[in-house]
Amino acid sequence: MLRQIAEGVFVHESEFLQSNAVVVQGRTGVLVIDPGITVDELAGLAEDIRELGQSVVAGFSTHPDWDHVLWHPALGDAPRYGTARGAAAIREVLTHPAWQDEVAEGLPPEHAHEIPMELLGLITGLPAGSDRIPWEGPVVRILEHRAHAEGHAALLLEQRRVLVAGDMLSDILMPFLDLQAEHQIDDYLAALQLLESVAEGADVVVPGHGSVGSADDLRARIAQDRAYVQALQAGSEPDDPRVGPAAPLEWLPDVHRWQVQRLAERSHEDG
How many domains does the chain fold into?
Answer: 1
Looking at residue 270, its pLDDT comes to: 66
Strands (E), 52-161: 56-60, 80-82, 124-125, 140-145, 152-157
Identify the domain containing residue 76 by its residue range.
3-269
Task: Residue 233: give its domain's CATH number.
Answer: 3.60.15.10
pLDDT digits (tens, 9 = 90+) for 150-161: 999 999 999 999
Q: Which pairing describes strands 124-125 and 80-82: parallel, antiparallel, or unpaired?
A: parallel
Model-level pTM? Answer: 0.95
- How far is 198 from 157, CA to CA, in rounded Å? 11
Looking at residue 97, its pLDDT comes to: 94
- How far is 1 from 52, CA to CA, in rounded Å? 12
Backbone region of residue 169 per phi and psi (left: phi > 0; alpha: psi in -120 to 50; beta: other values): left
Please classify residue 70 by burial: count the beta carbons closer than 10 Å to its beta carbon, then call 0-12 exposed, 13-18 middle and 19+ buried. buried
Name, in order, each residue with C-beta under 8 angstroms of 38's C-beta and a sequence gap of 6 or more: 14, 15, 16, 111, 114, 115, 116
Per-residue pLDDT of the chain (271 residues; tens, 9 = 90+): 899 999 999 999 999 999 999 999 999 999 999 999 999 999 999 999 999 999 999 999 999 999 999 999 999 999 999 999 999 999 999 999 999 999 988 888 888 899 999 999 999 999 999 999 999 999 999 999 999 999 999 999 999 999 999 999 999 999 999 988 889 999 999 999 999 999 999 999 999 999 999 999 999 999 999 999 999 999 999 999 999 998 999 999 999 999 999 998 887 666 5
- Of residues 187, 164, 188, 186, the one with CA closest to residue 174: 188
Looking at residue 268, its pLDDT comes to: 66
